[in-house]
Amino acid sequence: MDKINFFYVDYQGKPMTSFEVTGLIPQLDLKLIVDIVTEPDYTQYAIQFLQDSENFFEQELETTNVATSDLGDGTVTIHIELPFNFTNLLSPTSRNFTAKLLKNGQSVAEAKTSIYFN
């Protein structure tokens, strides 16, 4: 029942997988966008985001500002947008992101995405 519908990096309202840049990027404002399908009582759940295998955000869903919609089949969709930025990023490089849905601290769903700077 628990799954991640989609997970991507958003730049100015568009999904992005690569940037054409040269040299140093002084600042780049992005969002991680994720849609989760889970049970209506999601009080035991948390969302975790990792960048290059390092945890950089984890929070219980009930305390996260999330948008939900009832799918009518005993599940809900939860939409989360997490703003973040890079500063002084030197291309070419890449960053790998993982979104994990945790239930009682255990991963029950996972999705990965990457962004390339070349």
CATH classification of the domain holding 44 = 2.60.40.10
Give the predicted TM-score (pTM) of the model: 0.86
How many domains is the chain built from? Answer: 1
Residue 48 to residues 3, 51, 53, 80, 101, Cα–Cα distance (Å) = 14, 10, 11, 11, 7
**pLDDT tens digits for range 13-23:** 889 888 777 77
At 65, the pLDDT band (50, 70, 90 cuts) reads low
Residues 6+ apart with CB under 8 A from 102: 45, 46, 47, 48, 58, 108
C-alpha span between 109 and 70 (Å, rounded): 19
Range of 34's domain? 3-117
Q: Which residues pair with 45 in a beta bridge?
A: 103
